[in-house]
Amino acid sequence: MCYLRSFFSASMNKNIMDSSSKIRVKKSRLQLLHQYYSYTGFYAFVKSSLGKLIVPISLFIIILWLVHMLFIDFNDLFTSITTTYDPFIILTIFLASESVLGLIPPEIFIAWADKTETPIFYLSLLALLSYLGGIFSFFVGKAISKMPSVYAYFEVKMQKHIKMMRKWGGLLIVAGALLPIPFSMTSIAAGVIQYRFRNYLLFGLLRFVRFYLYALVIFNVF
């Protein structure tokens, strides 16, 4: 009987020690990741990007607000656009923009969605199209990687993005999806380095979060 007690006690202690060991390993991996992103400059990159964008975005919002108050009523403007142009045309323009380097700020389309009859529906549709535009850019990147002459050109033009994608992978996709960083450029870089598509799709879903968060502000300003 004593032998059995000793055996079970030893087994329980071993299981507890194994569990504690796994927790320590898990923590150490997280710490190593944190150190890696710190040493390779990911946090500094996010901080720098936000710092560079906060001032222009703030000025852009202030200028829009002043124009709205003094010259053009954006409520009337976007209402006029929704009654003049077919939503299909506007959504097509947006998809083209999101697929080609994000040429038009998505905030303009979010403000347009607010003036439609079903704002949440069109906002969700915009987020979906932005997500699909990113996927298109991803496959553009994959195609570029298979064309040596084109790849050599883009490797120079997108050297910074490609280098960052190789270093940070999924976290850069998360940053591109959430922050005012060109999502199309990030997606192309992911395709160029042959980043795992399944992971790209997962991280890219945060694009929806960005659109809903921006809508909370824009829907209450214009």
- Per residue of the chain (222 residues), give pLDDT as tens: 444 444 334 444 445 445 444 444 455 677 777 778 788 877 777 777 666 667 766 776 777 777 767 777 766 777 777 778 899 999 999 999 998 877 788 888 998 998 898 999 999 999 999 999 999 999 999 999 999 888 888 878 888 888 888 888 888 899 889 887 788 989 999 999 999 999 999 999 999 999 999 999 888 866
CA distance 218 to 114: 8
Task: Round the CA-based radius of gyration of the chain to a whole number and report it.
Answer: 24
CA distance 135 to 191: 9
Contacts with 80 (C-beta within 8 Å, 6 or more apart), sequence order? none
The one-letter code for the residue type at 74 is: F
CA distance 194 to 165: 10
DSSP state of 222: -
For residue 21, how many C-alpha atoms fall within 13 Å in the half-sphere facing its CB?
6
* Local structure of 54: helix, strand or coil: helix
DSSP state of 169: T
Q: What is the pLDDT of residue 212?
A: 95
Closest CA to 176 of 186, 166, 162: 186
